Amino acid sequence: GQNIDQPTEMTATEGAIVQINCTYQTSGFNGLFWYQQHAGEAPTFLSYNVLDGLEEKGRFSSFLSRSKGYSYLLLKELQMKDSASYLCAVWDSNYQLIWGAGTKLIIKP
């Protein structure tokens, strides 16, 4: 079966750095997405990785290792507005998006 694992919840301090991990087992791989979802709102796109390595976008970076079936999202200089759920999703061999359950990130002052 297809499976994406993320921690259910994480807590971090304002101004700090946090790394949210995602491991996947899917039938094929055509890319990995990270989305942000604030409570009661729609998911919004953060990043897309299809090749191994680190993609940096301002305070957010995303890393991919296809051989390990592993990705992480790194958030630097955390702000209170970063409190949200972070969803990992993988394109499988049929270009269907398989979604993880999401990681709820709580930022404390």
Shorter beta-carbon distance to another protein: residue 33 or 63? 33
Please, what is the minimum distance in Å from the beta carbon of residue 72 to another protein? 18
Cα distances (Å, whole numbers) of residue 9 to 18, 28, 44, 50: 12, 28, 19, 26
Shorter beta-carbon distance to another protein: residue 43 or 72? 43
The 8 Å CB, 24+ separation contacts for 61-65 are 62/32, 62/34, 64/32
Contact assessment for residue 28 and residue 98, using Cβ atoms and an 8 Å cutoff:
no
Shorter beta-carbon distance to another protein: residue 36 or 78? 36
Please, what is the minimum distance in Å from the beta carbon of residue 17 to another protein? 26
Please, what is the minimum distance in Å from the beta carbon of residue 21 to another protein? 15
Look at the block and give the residue holding tokens 């955390």. Answer: 78
Shorter beta-carbon distance to another protein: residue 40 or 109? 40
User: What element of type H or E holds 36?
Assistant: strand 31-37
Residues that bind another protein (CB under 8 A): 4, 8, 30-31, 33, 41-45, 48, 87, 89, 91, 95-102
Please, what is the minimum distance in Å from the beta carbon of residue 35 to another protein? 8
